[in-house]
Structure 1
Amino acid sequence: MKTVVSFAGIDPSSGAGIYVDLAVIKSLGFHPAGVVTSLTYQNTCGVKGIANLNNYIEGQADAVFEDLDVVGVKVGLVLKGCEIIAKYMRKVEVSVVDPVLVSTTGYDFENVDVYKFLSRHCKVITPNVDEAMALSGCVITDLKSAKECAKEISRTYGCSTVITGGTLKGIDVIFDGKFYTVESKIYDFEVHGTGCVYSSALACYLAKGLNLYEACKGAREVVLKAVEKSKTVGRCLRVVNP
């Protein structure tokens, strides 16, 4: 069975992170494998702290790659160890990086340089508007400036870019040498874990052989369903239900 691997952090409340990634990957027909990069202390209300597991990334990844038929990699929260992760991204045709710079609840992971490095080694990067500005130095105020920013990120780092459009009125901006957009319904409530769902689904659809535009459409559909079925499990944010 084909495997898609998530390199990501653990959210013990299962609202985001590797637990969500694995659920999405399994739902789309792949065997899900996970390499834990960090352990967060968080719940639906916020991040309370984090432990870096940089020293344990390579051992986990070696065990997975020497045994399983890995066809895709998705990268989520990383604090350190980006050089090690890049080595495994180079082993596969499909590699999607979802930058996690600040949590939904405002916790700053102070790791922008990590993603600037990973961007140079992945096939596709999927920042939101704030993350795209942090990676590029661009200022995004509308759809036109978002397109300019996507092109600048691709030019700088050599990867295709998808700026996810939560604050662009639901429009995802895609650049892989040409521009595409995917427009979808937006909701008036915040849901935890949507970025994890999107990037994991995108990696799966690319591993199925879809082109980037079609894969982005599929990934956005998965997110919409995960939001429609989202649940209130704690005292604060709703969580995705992929």
Structure 2
Amino acid sequence: MKHEFLAYETRDEAADFAARMASGVLAAAIEDSGKASFMVSGGSSPAPLFKRLATTDLSWDRVTVGLVDERWVGPEHAGSNEALVRQHLLTAKAGAAGFLPMKTASLTAKAAVEDRVQAYWPHCDPIDLILLGMGPDGHTASWFPKAGGLKAAMHAADGVTVAAIDATGCEVAGKMPERMTLTGPAIIDSDAAILLIFGEDKRAVLDAALKASPEDMPVRYAIDGLGPRLTIIWAP
């Protein structure tokens, strides 16, 4: 079965719906099992959603927030996804949630993989809700086309929740090519997923990705793998 695609006239409307959906999914998970896992992406698109969720009534002390991917920089760095999540989501009522960082004191992402696999695995069995983004090259998470480690990350063995990525030479990765990312199994096994995208350019990228191979535009792998558990939310 296919994913659901929802188009809204404004970004505020899209963020409002995404917040209602996210809080509903997390509340249902808490009611079912007493806890919930919420894996989130960085970038500019999620910020309006995060701000809405931060003030939402929810048993946040039963929620563990983790990252879909991370640049290998400290939380004091402007490029840190952890910093963005702490600034926009883990405030107000959502400040009671637990947080699971990806960046560690290890010098490289590769050196930290074993530790972070163990840390993330209990919260990815499966992930209750994952929030994905999409770049102009068709990447999601840190699955950059032609990146070093891409195939191993997308097709990791069961139980391998994170992987190191070397995005050297990938233009969209910019000057921070060393990354850690959730793997294919961790993402596509999620119980529910939101792909939140804004702008006509991202709509065009999505249309292209739905016709491309997963190797060329890796977001296609997540879209196909998640199927009806994925809701794509877009506004111009």
Q: Which band: TM-score by shorter chain? A: 0.3 to 0.5
TM-score, structure 1 as length reference? 0.33
TM-score, structure 2 as length reference? 0.34
Report which structure shows greater RCO (CA 8 Å, sep ≥6): 2
Greater strand fraction, Structure 1 or Structure 2? 1
